Structure 1
Amino acid sequence: MNDDIRQRPNRIPWPPILAVGAVLAAWVLEAVLPTGEMLAGAGRWTRVTGILVAATGLGFDLAAMLTMHRARTNILPHRAAGHLVTNGVFALSRNPIYLGNTLLLLGLALALHSPWLLVTALVAAVLVNQLAIKREERHLAARFGTLFAQYRQRVPRWFGFPRRR
């Protein structure tokens, strides 16, 4: 296995860059190709649903960060993992921060009635999967071997209930 991947999963912290990029891209796209009030007809329930989805995403983010802090491990996506965290929200998702970021963006898109943010949030999620998650999983496999392999078998990448073996 490449020694560089053992040292760190990435040189660039893609996930926060992509989340901010999704918001900026949606804003630019709305300025260039306005959607007007395309989703406004969905009304108040779309806003309420969006707020709930965004709050759930923020909850995942905060819970994951707190769990990582308690485990005294690195939270930065371009730095080496100090410990394999498998408890808390990490028992439901191998990537609860990325799940949280995606839910936050999708929730904001619904709450703000922004079709472009819906699109850019989904594009950002695909890019996070390709540019960050796959490399992070190789990094964790190189650092934690069998422990990570067992965790990977038990817990879904994005979300789900742990599988029993």
Structure 2
Amino acid sequence: MVEKAKKDGPNVRFPPPLVYLGFILLGRILDTLLPLPSIVPQAEFEWIGVALIAIGIAIVIVSMGLFSKAGENPEPWTATEVIIARGPYRHSRNPMYLAMAMIMLGFAFWQDSAGTLFFLPFAVLAIDRFVIRAEEEYLARRFGKGFLDYQKKVRRWL
């Protein structure tokens, strides 16, 4: 029996949007279990949350469009042929993960969810440690100096 060779790619084992979604759900559970304080001073400020969600969604759409134009798959466990350094990738090496964090923050404000706000740093930390590190190790191996130069010019988050 002949095994297919595994295609090279980052060692990411789960979809990052599910990480954020999971922490949002944990936050909502925390909201129902504990009498947490309000994080939105007045209902009129909920629009800030909606705006953050909209901006986050727009960043994800633009970023995915850049992947599509480059013929790349945005799934973080797949191999890649190019470093995308245009659009939001000029300012952040991880604009989609940053956008997902913005969406989570926006959800916390929109829904006045102290539990979601509480879990936001844990979501960002999980993405940073278990997804971004694996991706960056892979990209450094795959592209060498090209990726290291990009890393020097563009910050990981902002």
Using the size of structure 1 for normalisation, the TM-score is 0.85
Q: Determine the structure 1 residue equivalent to 2:13.
A: 12
Kindly provide the CA deviation profile for residues 102-141 of structure 1, in whole angstroms up to 9, marking residues without a partner as x.
0000011011111111111221011100000111111100
What is the RMSD of the two structures over their aligned residues, measured on CA atoms? 1.6
The answer on whether the counterparts of 1:13 and 1:76 sit within 8 Å (CA) in structure 2 is no
Matched, 1:31 2:27: no
Unaligned runs of 5+ in 1: 1-5, 160-165
Amino acid at match of 1:130: R
Unaligned runs of 5+ in 2: 1-6
* In 2: Cα distance, 1:14 partner to 1:130 partner: 14
Tell me, what secondary structure is at the counterpart of 1:113? Answer: coil
* In 1: Cα distance, 2:44 partner to 2:70 partner: 39
Following superposition, the deviation at residue 46 of structure 1 comes to 2.7
Tell me, what secondary structure is at the counterpart of 2:144? Answer: helix
Amino acid at match of 2:27: A
Q: Percent identity, aligned pairs only?
A: 28
Alignment of 1:36-47 (within 5 A): 38-40=38-40, 42-47=41-46
The answer on whether the counterparts of 2:47 and 2:110 sit within 8 Å (CA) in structure 1 is yes
Following superposition, the deviation at residue 11 of structure 1 comes to 4.2
Matched, 1:127 2:92: no
Equivalent pairs counted in the alignment come to: 152
Which moved further from structure 2: 94-103 or 25-34?
25-34
* In 2: Cα distance, 1:65 partner to 1:33 partner: 38
Q: Determine the structure 1 residue equivalent to 2:4.
A: none
Q: Determine the structure 2 residue equivalent to 1:88.
A: 87
